[in-house]
Amino acid sequence: MIIRSINIQNVSDNQLRLWFEQMEEEKKISVSCMQNESKKKQRICADALCRNAISDFCGIDADKICFELSPYGKPFAKNLTVHFSISHSGDFAVCSVSETETGIDIEKIRTVHPRACEKFCTEAETDYVHNSENGLFEIWTLKEAYFKCIGTGLGTDIKNVSFSMENNKILCSEEGFEFSFIEIDKNYICSVCKKAAQ
């Protein structure tokens, strides 16, 4: 598995233009229509980050990679037997590339309403959140990474998948997946999920 991250504030305008030109026409149009410049940079950097990671993983030129979307909206690389996931928040974009299904999520740590976790946490997870400094973002990113990995995105059954921490190990109610926290920056929480090889 390859995991990459980039701080978009460190990307020059010239590099951004080069990466924009690598994107598919449909994505260029979508990005060009965006009003928020920060969100625009996030999308361009995430695309380039993932494209270059897949290039290294598969040994193929980055400009030969073509992205398409599954019926659930999960991106995939056309004609390549590789799995990947991308995420961005604040100043960072991240991606994971793997030989099996993968999902990654990053969130900037920020102040949220104390009861926000009730929408997506089980009772045990809620206890963990209230007793852990960054517990809410840990549980949230783990769930995001899991649902990205299985390719459905967050669903109405979000509470049916639960997480717990024991001896610095992440345990999930769903078997067959491996989880870890990735250290990107002290102000961010990043989680990655990978389907275990059969």
Domains annotated for the chain, with CATH where assigned, are 2-99 (3.90.470.20), 104-195 (3.90.470.20)
pLDDT for 31-88, tens place per residue?
999 999 988 999 999 999 999 999 999 999 988 898 888 787 778 898 898 999 999 9
Q: How far is CA 127 from CA 132, 142, 189, in A?
A: 9, 16, 19
Q: Are 84 and 54 in contact (CB under 8 A)?
A: yes
Terminal alpha carbon distance of the chain: 16
Q: Tokens 């380039």 appear where? A: 48
Can you tell me the mean pLDDT for 127-148? 93
pLDDT band with cut points at 50, 70 and 90 for residue 154: low
pLDDT confidence of residue 156: 61
- What angle separates helix 25-32 from helix 37-58, to the nearest 10 degrees? 160
pLDDT confidence of residue 155: 64
> What is the pTM (predicted TM-score) of this model?
0.91
How far apart are the C-alpha atoms of 93 and 120, rounded to whole Å? 24
pLDDT band with cut points at 50, 70 and 90 for residue 152: confident
